[in-house]
Amino acid sequence: MTNYEKCCEQWRQKFQQMNQGYLMRLLPEITAEGDHLILYHFGRKLAVHRETGEITAPADQEPVSCWEKINVYTLFGYVSPTAHLQNEWVPFDKLKRTAPFYQAFRKSIIEPFARTFTGHTQELERACTALGGEKLPYSDAGYEIKAFSCIPLRFLYWEGDEEFPSQGNILFDASATDFIHEESIVSIAAVGFGRLAKEAGLPLDRSAFPIC
């Protein structure tokens, strides 16, 4: 068992002790279907078994990655009772408590994002649309996509030219770290980036954050 898998197992056990009714009041996007709590992560339906805490994807039957699971569990574990969307968009390092992770975030998410989609702006736009993205009037390809209903992201991409390389950025609502732990912002962006690359049919840049 890898360290990532051990982390997932620890969080699964923590979930078993959580007050599910309280969670559903804090996160109205959660619904109940039989023995499961349901929520959507980048448009993918995930089902959390109310007794065991196991997370599955009933609509596609593909395995749920450990990072998708950790994102769900840490959302449940860290959401603040006062969390609410602020409609103030900021880069990663301007979120509360994220500054220590900024360099790693840039090297493993932002820079690989730009390199992966260099010369593939149309593929990126199609991928964003496939994930339910809403087109924005910023950059060459800018889309707002919901990681969870309470944690929207804005993926921005500028195609390069002979003088300048392609550039990318990801903006977050300033409330993001009120809903989830600051380190989970990295894995949320990584899952979104990975989903976009997969939908576009492109391989991830080798320096990208590893998605297990």
Instruction: Give the separation between CA 120 and CA 203, rounded to whole angstroms.
Output: 12
Q: Would you list the DSSP string of 125-174? A: HHHHHHTT-EE-SSSSEEEEEEEETTEEEEEEEE---SSS--EEEEEEET
What's the pLDDT score for residue 83?
Answer: 98
What's the pLDDT score for residue 212?
Answer: 61
What's the pLDDT score for residue 161?
Answer: 85
The predicted-structure confidence for 72-84, as pLDDT tens digits, reads as follows 999 999 999 999 9
What's domain 89-200's architecture?
Answer: 2-Layer Sandwich (3.30)
What's the pLDDT score for residue 39?
Answer: 98
**What pLDDT tens digit does each residue of the chain (212 aa) get?**
788 889 999 999 999 999 999 999 999 999 999 999 999 999 999 999 999 999 999 999 789 999 999 999 999 999 999 999 999 999 999 999 999 999 999 999 999 999 999 999 999 999 999 999 999 999 999 999 999 999 999 999 999 888 889 999 999 999 999 999 999 999 999 999 999 999 999 998 878 877 76
Whether pTM exceeds 0.85:
yes
What's the pLDDT score for residue 205?
Answer: 80
Backbone angles phi, psi at 164, to 5 degrees: -130, 140
Instruction: Give the separation between CA 119 and CA 48, rounded to whole angstroms.
Output: 39
Whether 50 contacts 37, CB under 8 Å: yes
Q: Would you list the DSSP string of 34-96? A: TTEEEEEETTEEEEEETTT--EE-TTT-PPPPHHHHHHHHHHHHH--TT------EEEGGGST
The predicted-structure confidence for 155-204, as pLDDT tens digits, reads as follows 999 998 888 899 999 999 999 999 999 999 999 999 999 999 999 999 98
- Domains of the chain, by residue range, sit at 3-78, 89-200
